[in-house]
Amino acid sequence: MGLLPCAFLLGLLLLLGQGTTQAHTSPGENTLEEQLWPEGQSLKSFSFFCNSENVPSPGSSVPSNSVHSLRPSDIKFVAAIGNPPDSGTDDLEKQEWTEKQELQACMGVVTVLSDVIRYFNPSVLKPICPLGTGAVGRAAAEDLWIQAKDLVRNMKENQQLDFQNDWKLINVFFSNASQCHLCSSTQQQSHVTSSLDQLTRTLDYLQQEVPKAFVNLVDLSEALRGSHWHQKTLLSPTAQPCRCSGETSRLSSVVTQWAYQETWERLLASSKYNEQESFVVVFQPFFYERALPPPSGEQPFQDPTALGLTLWNSMLQPAGQKDEPFSAKERPLKCPSQENPYLFTYRNSNYLPRMLKPQVKTEVRDGAEIRCSDKDPSDTVPTSVHRLKLADIKVIGALGDSLTAGNGAGSKPGNVLDVLTQYRGLSWSVGGDQNLSSVITLPNMLREFNPSLKGFSVGKGTESSSGAYLNQAVAGARAEDLPVQARRLVDLMKNDKNINFQEDWKIITLFIGGNDLCDVCDDPVRYSPQNFVDNIGQALDILHAEVPRAFVNLVKVLEIINLRKLYQEKNVSCPRLILRNLCPCVLKYDDNATELASLIEVNKKYQEGTHQLVESGRYDTREDFTVVVQPFFEKVDMPMTPEGLPDNSYFAPDCFHFSSKAHAHAASALWNNMLQPVGQKTRQHNFEDQINITCPDQAWPFLSTYKNLVQDYGSQLLCSDRAPSASPPTSVHTLRPADIQVVAALGDSLTAGNGIGSKPNDLSDVTTQYRGLSYSSGGDSSLENVTTLPNILRKFNGNLTGYAVGTGDANETNAFLNQAVPGAKAEELVNQVQTLIQKMKSDHRVNFHEDWKVITVLIGGNDLCDYCTDSNLYSADNFFDHLRNALDILHREVPRALVNLVDFMSPSIMRQVFLGNPDKCPVHQASILCNCVLTPRESSQELAKLESITRAYQSSMRELVESGRYETREDFSVVLQPFFYNIRLPVLVDGRPDVSFFAPDCLHPSQKFHSQLSRALWINMLEPLGRKTDTLDLMADIPLSCPAQIEPFLRTPRNSNYTYTTTPAIENWGSDFLCTEQNPSNSVPTSVHELRPADIKVVAALGDSLTTAVGALPSNSSDLPTSWRGLSWSIGGDGDLGTHTTLPNILKKFNPNILGFSTGTQEETAGLNVAAEGARARDMPAQARDLVERMKTSPEINVQKDWKLITLFIGSSDLCHYCDNEEARSAEEYVKYIRQALDILYEQLPRAFINVVEVMELADLHQGQDGKCVMPLPAQSNCTCLQGSQENLPEMQELKTVNWDFQSALSTLSYQYLQREDFAVVVQPFFQNTLVPLNKRGGADLTFFSEDCFHFSERGHAEMAIALWNNMLEPVGHKTTSNNFTYSRTKLKCPSAENPYLRTLRNSQLLQNQADTEPPVLSWAVPVAAGGGLVVGVGAVMTWRALRGRQNENSPLSLNTMSF
């Protein structure tokens, strides 16, 4: 007999050991049931929350009258039946122990169910498990019937249970000793019918005797299968043999397991147990996840709680949709939904059997037709695989898994069991059923070219069947199985008399990986990307070593994650139990699970690894053999129906394997991939598109390989001397081409290769990045076919690395060291540099410290395209800064490197192309991308500005390189390659520019153009500086040069004997005034919010020694520092703007008659500069009164009518002495005095605009730098809190905190003086994040500081004046919060026609609650500083160097990360 009762519970207990609750030892304290499993303890540590709307309050609802609308709250009683079989012993003591353990396990499960139901119905009664008599030899069905009788008697005797009216939940557990339930078809049907017959007596009895009962029929055959306990405890009589026919693979087991469940569901749904309103029997299956049980034979049970909770969840799943396998892992407890608040039966589930009979109607398969004009073979049998035509193929074979074996390809919808059938004749890559007009497969397409093709499979069967032929794919195979398949395939071909093994050309398609991905979470080591690639490599090695004349398609593993869409869509009919068991690693996790992210990463690494394996050249060592990666499965979207649901017509009935429809699509995609050039192959197949079979190119009719990519743009290199240096050079100035081992590139879409390989008029393809064809870093094919710098260098060094191949973005593996990003501007170059360095350091192919590198940089085009939108943001100065920052990082961090800095193409070329071809160029689209270049009219002012800024960009590049900044190391140099400076555009006979040199967007160069760029770059690299070609004629025939025999080096300034022209010394620190809007208001404004610079009549200043300009010029006396008030940034008026940059000198350009500024050094000429050396915040009220008095007594000033600009800057002295009296120097005290001063000005002065400048940061100052600049003792005594900064870091951190508090306190002042129309206070924050100025060698630039190492020099004052002026013109809330210490005479901003006013809160349109936007902060390499009465920038460098060893980051630092 095959039926076993609930003995599994004892098995669980024995497996649990000490994991279950032990019985109490004190007799009489509790009932036996309570001792075995105390009530309320099963869910003690389990969180269970259901919507309160679905949980009725006690007595609030009337129990249902129908079992088909039974809610959990209706259940009053839970029980279970199923006794252990013959224990195999007459030992009464042992039998008593066994019965007790069995009862404990049973009580555990029913107690769990009771405790869950108690959440809905607190009055549920204690559960029971009636114990069978355990008579020796009793049949299982007989014992189950006796337990049912005992249960009925117990229920009738239970005084708390209303037997007639209370709803009962009864669980009937059984298992099968035999494994016939794993057989298929009629065997399985017969077995289930037999099992149901044995249960009928018990179920009939319950139906007859028990009113209002929901009966779970729980099958635990799978849960017990194979357990040691099952064998040792003689759970059942000797298992009855059941000889299953057919395969016993995992697929077979999963499908038959599902069919077994379906058989039970179908029988019960149609039985008498589903006809009544008060009684129902529902089948509840328990199946393992495929990964369970563990190999050791251990069971996954933690305790009976897991079984009880799984059973509960199953009751809340509709019949026919119980697809969650048993798992010991904690699962979320299901809750009744508002839509379905009841326990599911077959009737309320609207159950329909899913295992339909095969449809009588024959499936219509769509065929295809090939209309290619040339179907002929080569004139003679080719000897090279790179000259192989389709008609030359005589033999076809395939390796792989069930997708190649054709499982379910011809199965009718709904016939899940038929998925076990392998329809090899329909297989996409090797099937040969019928012909192309009815079945689309690769062989059927090839037979259109060669009807004598051999090797394809036909009909059905396994790999061993006669019809399989050379389709040696095995269902369920993984990558580790491929070598065996390859061995078998080779032997079959060798031994087949119909195949001329040596002479016949063969196509072999290898596709594997789905099963590896489905298993990777269970054994990450076994299915690691490295093992995956290695196993494929072993199979390819066999083919490469033994098979002549072969073209091998290595199809990338598909993007498997999209299978989740089909699994998760409940509106699509799929056997989810099968899906989940076949591929648990894809389907069993939540959407945001880390395991899922890991799977996606492994999937990507599988794909990348196959590329790397093949592109290593490992299989291109013979002329008659190659392996080509076909990537059409790399990105696969789930096909969708018009209703937006996953389209399961592309899948076999198991929703995992391909239907014939999908096989046809895969075949056409493979065919097209084979004909597409390497690097231009489709990586994503859209199954929803109509099948399109392309024809070979008439001019190039060969299957595409890595060596026959393109024929039109190759070059010949005729150099006889291609040898490297005798020993690796240590100097970049003796570097030969053959010494180069690594090539890399940075830039924008031109270097990324956008549109290089796009066909004419295919505008959408311009987004494709053809990196393998890029002039400076592409490595597709070879120099004979594709001219690029790497392909030229590979003629000197075959081991060159770093170049890009194929297509894709910078993150793709095949991009390698081409880190250019489409759309990139100069400001993004630093990020590219950092990414490049990280890749070079981490990639095993690059010896970062020893390999010589060529890095090509081309940037600037996109900056010019957007110049007119923000001339300040895209200024030449900013371009210079961004480029310098990027090159600085390369110079600092990359050893052994030659950097090509390529001049960019003039925008005028782009204009010529568009203006000359308005019918061919997409003017509208391109104008959006490059508005500033394409939209200005000819001879317009905008165009003149564009040409001017272009020249400024180019000049800044030359200035940067010729500064010698990057010639300080023997192993590093930056060389400007100017070939792009002048482009001679090719012109057709009709006078129009030749657009064949451009991509379809007329913006990006085509491959023809890139080929010329490559040649020009190479020639530039060999030309000495001073004699480099700066013109490129695109139509010219440019032969590749060879290194000179005498000096065969790549040219640098030193080996060219070239001396850069020196930059003339800067004579003064004045500025150029470029503003055109200089006029005052038409009438004197009455509102400060409409105040123009030219309206200012009076300037004044309050502050400390920074405002008195101590040390601005060198002094003859070190004891008595001089205050150069006439040079003070905010109030000085010496000379004019052309020689001295100060705020008054700027204002003189608007109003030459301005009053109040200081001149000279004497107090008598101080004007309205009331600042005093050593002043602190407490002195500001006195200074304010002094200022008011001076204004009122001045005969030149009309206090009532003249507009006044007053600048207040204080706080450094307060911070310098904070440590002397911490309580007296709080931020509250500090801002209190400033507010008092402002109150005085507010009350006494009409028509005033007040600048309050935030105090600078002073933390972490040191007292000197490398002995080059030592603070004199008087200076040290002026700032006692900075002494010994390194020795007292906690105090310095405290100082930094107070410093920030001072800044924060000041930031609110602008909002406190809003009442008057003619008065405004505006906080100017340019010192909020003070950044150090650097010299050419990366150290602190001491020219910004006075000789005492504290105060600013005249140059520093000029920079402060520029920063203050620019802040005044910037809207509140968007002001620059850092100072750009770089020399330029053109940094002054101008009032605009739209906003000609000094900016206040009101004219900035900024309310108080909107003033929280942080403006961008400039980033320099080293933090800096200055001190408000005492300014120190130098000491920061010493602190930085001292702390540098503790810094793990290479990113620039600001005062927010390291302050002083």
The string of pLDDT tens digits covering residues 1055-1065 is 999 887 665 67
In the predicted structure, residue 419 carries a pLDDT above the cut 60: yes
Strand, helix or coil for residue 499: coil
Using CA atoms, how far apart are residues 11 and 300, in angstroms rounded to an integer? Answer: 12
Q: Would you call 502 exposed, middle or buried from its count of C-beta atoms within 10 A (0-12, 13-18, 19+)? A: exposed
Q: Which two tokens stand for residue 852?
A: 């010589």
DSSP alpha helix (H) spans, 1203-1318? 1212-1216, 1227-1244, 1273-1278, 1289-1306
Comparing 1277 with 841, the larger pLDDT belongs to: 841
Minimum mean pLDDT among 855-864, 992-1001, 1258-1267: which range? 1258-1267
Average pLDDT over residues 85-114: 62
When mean pLDDT is compared over 732-741, 994-1003, 1104-1113, the highest value belongs to: 732-741
In the predicted structure, residue 1434 carries a pLDDT above the cut 90: no
Average pLDDT over residues 1234-1244: 96
Q: What pLDDT shows up at residue 1414?
A: 40
In the predicted structure, residue 1378 carries a pLDDT above the cut 90: no
Comparing 699 with 757, the larger pLDDT belongs to: 757
| CB atoms inside a 10 Å sphere around CB 126 | 16
In the predicted structure, residue 723 carries a pLDDT above the cut 90: yes
Average pLDDT over residues 1027-1045: 91
In the predicted structure, residue 1429 carries a pLDDT above the cut 50: no
Among 1149, 1169, 1150, residue whose Cα is nearest residue 1161: 1169
In the predicted structure, residue 84 carries a pLDDT above the cut 90: no
Share of the chain above pLDDT 70, in %: 80
Q: What pLDDT shows up at residue 224?
A: 55
Among 744, 1011, 731, residue whose Cα is nearest residue 853: 744
86, 433, 516, 620: the catalytic one is 516
1096-1103 and 1031-1033 beta bridge pairing: unpaired
Q: What pLDDT shows up at residue 53?
A: 54
Minimum mean pLDDT among 666-675, 1252-1261, 1279-1288: which range? 1279-1288
Minimum mean pLDDT among 39-48, 203-212, 1431-1440: which range? 1431-1440
Active site residue 230: no
Minimum mean pLDDT among 588-592, 726-730, 768-772, 974-978: which range? 588-592
In the predicted structure, residue 1099 carries a pLDDT above the cut 90: yes
Residues facing residue 900 across a β-bridge: 856, 975
DSSP alpha helix (H) spans, 694-806? 749-752, 789-794
pTM to 2 decimal places: 0.52
Using CA atoms, how far apart are residues 859 and 904, in angstroms rounded to an integer? Answer: 7
Average pLDDT over residues 1405-1429: 39
Residues facing residue 471 across a β-bridge: 398
Among 198, 78, 92, 87, residue whose Cα is nearest residue 129: 78
Average pLDDT over residues 1193-1203: 96
Residue with tokens 């060698």: 1337
Using CA atoms, how far apart are residues 1451 and 1420, in angstroms rounded to an integer? Answer: 9
Share of the chain above pLDDT 90, in %: 48
Q: Would you call 321 exposed, middle or buried from its count of C-beta atoms within 10 A (0-12, 13-18, 19+)? A: middle
Q: What pLDDT shows up at residue 67?
A: 94
Using CA atoms, how far apart are residues 440 and 690, in angstroms rounded to an integer? Answer: 13
Indicate the helix (H) or strand (E) that contains 397.
Answer: strand 393-400
Using CA atoms, how far apart are residues 1440 and 1426, in angstroms rounded to an integer? Answer: 15
Contact predicate 98/235, CB 8 Å: no
DSSP alpha helix (H) spans, 616-727? 660-675
611, 657, 685, 1010: the catalytic one is 657
Measured CA distances, 1406 to 793, 1372, 1373, 1394, 1412 (Å): 59, 7, 7, 17, 10
What DSSP character marks residue 422? B
Using CA atoms, how far apart are residues 244 and 241, in angstroms rounded to an integer? Answer: 9
Split at pLDDT 50, 70, 90, the class of 501 is very high
Give me the torsion for CA of 1450, 1456, 1458, 1459, rounded to 10°. 150
In the predicted structure, residue 797 carries a pLDDT above the cut 90: yes
Q: What pLDDT shows up at residue 1149?
A: 93
In the predicted structure, residue 678 carries a pLDDT above the cut 80: yes
Q: What pLDDT shows up at residue 1274?
A: 47
In the predicted structure, residue 358 carries a pLDDT above the cut 50: no
Among 794, 816, 797, 795, residue whose Cα is nearest residue 805: 816
In the predicted structure, residue 132 carries a pLDDT above the cut 70: no
- Whole-number mean pLDDT of the chain? 82
Using CA atoms, how far apart are residues 252 and 578, in angstroms rounded to an integer? Answer: 10
Comparing 35 with 549, the larger pLDDT belongs to: 549
In the predicted structure, residue 755 carries a pLDDT above the cut 80: yes
Active site residue 402: yes
Q: What pLDDT shows up at residue 1166?
A: 94
73, 114, 314, 402: the catalytic one is 402
When mean pLDDT is compared over 33-42, 1062-1071, 1317-1326, 1427-1436, the highest value belongs to: 1317-1326
Q: How many residues does the chain have?
A: 1460
What DSSP character marks residue 178? S
Q: What pLDDT shows up at residue 1186?
A: 96
Q: Which two tokens stand for residue 164?
A: 């007639």
In the predicted structure, residue 1024 carries a pLDDT above the cut 90: yes
Minimum mean pLDDT among 203-212, 268-277, 651-660, 1251-1260: which range? 1251-1260
Phi-psi region of 759 (alpha: psi -120 to 50; beta: other; left: phi over 0): beta
Split at pLDDT 50, 70, 90, the class of 41 is low
When mean pLDDT is compared over 504-518, 951-965, 1306-1320, 1412-1426, the highest value belongs to: 504-518
Minimum mean pLDDT among 99-113, 561-575, 1080-1094: which range? 99-113
Tell me the chain's radius of gyration from C-alpha atoms.
42
Average pLDDT over residues 1150-1163: 94
Split at pLDDT 50, 70, 90, the class of 905 is confident
Task: Indicate if the alpha-carbon torsion angle 598, 604, 610, 612 is positive or negative.
Answer: negative
Using CA atoms, how far apart are residues 885 and 829, in angstroms rounded to an integer? Answer: 8
Among 476, 447, 472, 450, residue whose Cα is nearest residue 461: 472
DSSP alpha helix (H) spans, 158-303? 185-209, 221-224, 228-232, 250-269
Using CA atoms, how far apart are residues 197 and 191, in angstroms rounded to an integer? Answer: 10
In the predicted structure, residue 728 carries a pLDDT above the cut 70: yes
Contact predicate 42/124, CB 8 Å: no
Comparing 737 with 1436, the larger pLDDT belongs to: 737
Q: What pLDDT shows up at residue 853?
A: 98
What DSSP character marks residue 1434? S
Q: What pLDDT shows up at residue 497?
A: 95
Split at pLDDT 50, 70, 90, the class of 225 is low
Give me the torsion for CA of 719, 725, 730, 732, rounded to 10°. -10
